[in-house]
Structure 1
Amino acid sequence: MAEHELSGWKKWVEETGNQVNFFTGFFRNVFAGGFEWSEFVRQCYEIGYKSITLVGITSFIMGVVLTLQSRPTLVKFGASSMLPFMVCVSIVREIGPVITAIICAGKISSGIGAELGSMKVTEQIDAMDVSGANPMQYLVVTRILATTLMIPILTLMGDVIGLFGGYLAVNLADHTSWSLYFNKCLSSITFADLLPAFVKTIFFGFAVGFIGCYKGYNSNNGTESVGLAANSAVVSASLWIFFLDVVAVQITQIFFY
């Protein structure tokens, strides 16, 4: 039993050390010369543009569902006029960033893990290294920076679409003009709501890209490892998103409220 626990701890320490080495290697290559701008732009397109539809549909549904579920309770307490306030604060502060990041963890992190895992299995990464190319800079740096940039943008777009879904849901029972709804939403949020929500999406994006690249880049030989890398990337990225969200909430409570 003791040997089994020691083996588990040893494996965890080795995994942590490998992630730290991968993290330092990423930052070394970020500031190295010869940045691959064309690959970075292509990854922004693949990660950002091709995820807009999924993020938009999910955000719209979340805005509708949140509004429909919250309205009966607010009506019971005679506070139906607070519905735009509640929907806006909920989406901007928490639901928008977390849901968008989880969607990206499932779509983007798994895709990166599978792509780099297949390149590792077919020895394409080794071939790049032997030929004098820098696979860390070309494959890893561009993808991590692309997710770090695009996920905050996707979150902002998702927030707007979610609020529009909330507006349509409000008008299923009542008639509220768009200008009135929009003004109530703007009056309900402050800089203290927007800044922490935006900053944590940057860390969410970094976690999604980093975990996907790490799992794929360090996958073992064999075709089975490709699926394992993709699955492990989704699970690990999701856990990191929830962990970072808890930390962000605590920091926000200390410095902004």
Structure 2
Amino acid sequence: MSAEACLDSSDISIHCGSTPSASFDDNGVLWVAFVQDEFVYVSHSSDLGKSYSNPVAVNSIAEDAEHNGENRPKIIVDESGIIYVSWTLKTSPRFTGEIRFSRSIDNGNTFEETRTINDDGLFTGHRFESLFLSESGHLYLTWVDKRDLEASLKKEEPYVGAAVYYAVSDDQGRSFSKNYRVANHSCECCRIAIAPKGPENIAILWRQVFGEDVRDHAISELSPYGDTLQTHRASFDEWHINACPHHGPGYGAIKHLQRLSHELVY
């Protein structure tokens, strides 16, 4: 379907929706999540994207889901066929939001009631979520969070940037842990990259504020039990800017089976 046709059509379709994200399941089926008309939709393709199933709405009530290059819905399908979807709900005032999550246990025919994962109850920034499923079955959600900024403002104390938080589900998305803080003083609006670190831990890469205005990347290893095991500065570009570049990192991890027994992160 062409862009012109979408303008004149009320069809719900991946071709007319915004910012799709994609993931393959263990059977080679391509699953996509996208936003259209204030709903997050899921559709799938069994022929490598030549055709798609009728989209199914994830949220039952219309809401303003983020849909841009840095902040779009995420989708993962586990080995049992459960479909996990996360996104950021835009709230008022500007630059605030909530981390939203739902799952389907019937092959994408229906989705459970949408849940909010951030647990502070504040109308502040909870945005730019990332979703990852470890080999051990731990489902991670990470995001940029401004609850500590709000606390500092109440105390009239200075605070630069935002913070990085995460939560983990160990029961296939039925429930999530409390929110864990990874680091203060992250960039306010850059996506977070995730790669595996062993069977159950993850490594995350994000843009951090060093000093007053240097915005370079930091990397941490996280456990599913709320442990931030190590944090390092990952880049030394010395980018002095008192603003968010709206440009997060990306990376992956591989195993070199012949020579190494651990992951390499790029």
TM-score by length of 2: 0.23
TM-score, scaled to structure 1: 0.24
* Larger Cα-atom Rg: 1
Compare relative contact order (CA 8 Å, sep 6+) and give the higher one, 1 or 2. Answer: 1
Higher strand share: 2
